[in-house]
Chains A and B, each alone.
Chain A
Amino acid sequence: MSRIAYINARLLDPASGLDAPGALLSEGEMISDFGPHLFSDGVPENIATIDCQGHCLMPGLVDIRVQLREPGEEYKGTLESAGRAATAGGVTSMVCLPNTNPVIDDMSVLEFVARRARKLGLAKVYPYGAVTKGLKGEELAEIGLLSESGALAFTDGIKPVSDAQIMRRALSYASNFGQMIIQHAEEPSLASGGVMNAGETATRLGLGGIPREAEIIMVERDIRLAEMSGGRLHFAHLSTAEAIDAVRKAKTRGLNISCDTAPPYFALSEIAVGDYRTFAKLSPPLRAEDDRLAVIEGLKDGAIDAIASDHAPHDEESKRLPFAQAAFGGVGLETLLPVTLELFHNGHMDLLAALALITSAPADLVGLKAGRLEKGAAADLTLVDLSRGWKIDADKMHSISKNSPFDGHLVQGLALKTIVDGRTVFELDG
């Protein structure tokens, strides 16, 4: 069994609050030991050594919202390209949405994705199951059987479950199996025809607006439905102050409700749309500055539980179009870490609190044993240079699709090396 010693590291474990110089030992696929005093007398000769040169060795990132395009749209992204993008971004576990083609509303598709990903041996892939058959919002998918096959939670992906009765039953039925429903909160009738945040900018550009209320209304409605059905509810990528506040209040009332957001919603605002920049066309849309600040506030006070990349690859043909026709979404696996670190570098949060949002917190939400340094746990790690400044360059990304809303942004913090099950699967050149 191969043993590797990672020495001269700054060990970071957000879950336990560890932040100390030290070393880590992996044996085979597992972490067998770590701590400030490990190898203080030197590494035994029969152990391979990796010198971390003082950089941060931390648990690999856990990304709970990734769109894979395989099967179905391999020209936009494959399991392999997503795996490479993930590991280059320090992500070692990702949970994918069921909006592939065919949809993951059937055990065979779920097993196909899981098996393909395992064979690649890059970042680990865990699928969500569809709430409704074909993501059509009409009939429940086989939640129990999918659950038995390993679906981590249930969602209709980029579509909301808009029918209140279906949502109520989904919450209720999924709770039989201890499963969570993840909602993309956007009231479709209000959002219809909209392509960016409603308001002065949309009006000036002559673009259809999606009002903030589309998100707020659905969040408020679903909180009631969760309370009524006793189901477990999670909201993905919240972007508005009132929606976050509704979750905050539900939590204080003792409801088991959680939410996440994505980097664009705390690092960008609708100004990024500028002159019809389609890479800034996201769903939910980038909002105004007040909402961006409210998202940061939510991350600080715990109203928001985690950050997910919301990785949504699209080829050039889907984005080089008039704004209204262009696809929604941006790639995010490779920018999740540096953009989240902005919260630390800008003084909003301390380092471990920011990192918890992309490691242990999302892992806990979906019940994954990941995102922490633990003896006996899988050696899924990333080595990070916290202070290195760099410019995000979409052309250099590992993802097949390059549609990053952060292209050209200056950031600080970079994954140098990513380790999955004790194997180095990514190493930064130079």
Chain B
Amino acid sequence: MLAETAACAFYQAALLSRFMSEIALDKIRFPHSHLLGIEGLSPDVISLLLDRAESYVEHNRQADKNLSVLSGRTIINLFYEDSTRTRTSFELAGKKLGGNVINMSVATSSVKKGETLIDTAMTLNAMHPDVLVVRHNDSGAVKLLSEKVNCAVINAGDGRHEHPTQALLDALTIRRRKGKISGLRVAICGDIAHSRVARSNIHLLNTMGAEVRLIAPKTLIPSGIKGLGVEVFNDMNTGLKGCDIVMMLRLQTERMGGGFFPSVREYFHFFGLDYEKLANAKEDALIMHPGPMNRGVEIASEVADDLGRSAIREQVEMGVAVRMACLELLSANLDKGERS
């Protein structure tokens, strides 16, 4: 107890320090060896990650950005799905902390030649990386891979399951704009069925005490989702009433077999975010989108570009800070014990 309080006080003090690389992390540990999802993380752990990320936001705005926290560490980005922002964001985060970052994209690797996920894991593992950042199109694939390697694994999105760093960067954005997460009413709108971002956000927002609403046509609401602790709406005007945060999701047409809705025109008419629908939310409601956006499909251009209300660009900025915190905290755990 005493140690905890001391650690906490120490940490608070440390936050004020401009010399990030000097901070000793031995007393504030991330209590897991991997970051596979938000489900199961305690509020304290989420706050720890957010606080740590917060400290990097200011730092990243400085001219001298390079630290040596991860010096000597190797981070491999293994992306089975195309990604621009997440992969770049992880790459930047790793490099800013002084780590060696290697990008492996599936198009150029042996995966194309038929190598199984586990064989790839074993091969990479033999190169002794410190952190593997993995994105895969199958739910659970990142967990499967994490069971076969000795390094820390960060889930950069697995199928429709989880995308924890996206939820964390969303939370950081919300916390900075609203000063808190607890007690806020958050609407997550659109393609819930195919969205890992929605699932991670539901877990995070619930854990942190927000009220979560889902708004989508019934065909895009997966069965049993209420069990995750959300209220479901099938109409934007009702669902957005009194919301502090409006999170739009990208329509993932690439994951759809067809037949979830008749046309983009009809979808936008009923579920696309425009000023008219937004008027139902609170006046200072914040608009978010994980990107990449389909303008005129789930969100009107003028809403997306409304600098006063849209936090979409800020989300991208927070992404780097959050990933720095994740890489740092997971790597810090690696020093415990020897790895074979």
Contacts and interface: CB of A to CB of B under 8 A. Distances in A.
A204 B138 contact: no
B257 A201 contact: no
Nearest to B199: A206
Contacts of B141: 322
B20 interface: no
A204 B196 CA distance: 10
Contacts of A209: 222-223
Nearest to A317: B116
Nearest to B162: A206
B228 A323 contact: no
Contacts of B257: 192-193
B128 to A, nearest CB: 23
A317 B115 CA distance: 11
B140 A204 contact: no
B117 interface: yes
B138 A325 contact: yes
A283 B322 CA distance: 41
Interface residues of A, number: 23
A321 interface: yes
Contact of B140 (A198, A203, A275, A317): A275
Interface in B205-240: 222-228
Contact of A324 (B138, B223, B227): B138
Given A322-B141, A323-B139, A201 B161 contact: no
B289 interface: no
B40 to A, nearest CB: 10
Interface in A199-221: 199-207, 209, 211
A204 B143 contact: no
Given A204-B199, A209-B223, A275 B161 contact: no
Contacts of B143: 275-276
A205 B203 CA distance: 12
Nearest to A316: B118
Contacts of A251: none
A369 interface: no
B159 interface: yes
A142 B220 CA distance: 45
Given A205-B161, A206-B162, A324-B159, A200 B227 contact: yes
A198 B223 contact: yes
A206 B227 contact: no
B116 A206 contact: no
Given A199-B224, A200-B228, A211-B223, A205 B116 contact: no
B140 A323 contact: yes
Nearest to A324: B138
User: Which of B140, B158, B196 has the most chain A CB atoms inside 10 A of its CB?
Assistant: B140
Given A206-B158, A206-B199, A322 B138 contact: yes
B139 A205 contact: yes
Contacts of B118: 320
Contacts of B159: 206-207, 322, 324
Contacts of A192: 257
Contact size class for B?
A: 20 to 34
A276 B147 CA distance: 12
Interface in B164-209: 196, 199
B160 interface: yes
Contacts, number: 76
B117 A322 contact: yes
A193 B159 CA distance: 13
A269 B239 CA distance: 35
Contacts of B161: 205-207
B144 interface: yes
Contacts of B117: 321-322
B254 to A, nearest CB: 14
User: Which of A205, A207, A275 has the most chain B CB atoms inside 10 A of its CB?
Assistant: A205
A205 B200 CA distance: 11
A317 B160 CA distance: 23
B224 A202 contact: yes
A205 B142 CA distance: 12
A192 B116 CA distance: 24
Contacts of A207: 139-140, 159-161
B274 interface: no
B136 interface: yes
B39 interface: yes
A317 to B, nearest CB: 7
B222 A203 contact: yes
B132 to A, nearest CB: 16
28 contacts: A198-B223, A199-B223, A201-B224, A202-B223, A202-B224, A203-B223, A203-B224, A203-B227, A203-B228, A204-B228, A205-B140, A205-B161, A206-B158, A206-B161, A207-B140, A275-B140, A275-B143, A276-B139, A276-B143, A321-B144, A322-B117, A322-B141, A322-B144, A322-B159, A323-B138, A323-B140, A324-B138, A324-B140
Interface of B: 39, 116-118, 136, 138-141, 143-144, 158-162, 196, 199, 222-228, 257
The 7 closest A-B pairs by CB, nearest first: A200-B224, A206-B161, A322-B138, A276-B140, A206-B139, A206-B160, A200-B227
Given A192-B257, A206-B196, A209-B222, 16 more contacts: A199-B223, A200-B223, A200-B225, A200-B227, A201-B224, A203-B222, A203-B223, A203-B224, A203-B228, A204-B228, A206-B139, A206-B158, A209-B223, A322-B138, A323-B139, A323-B140
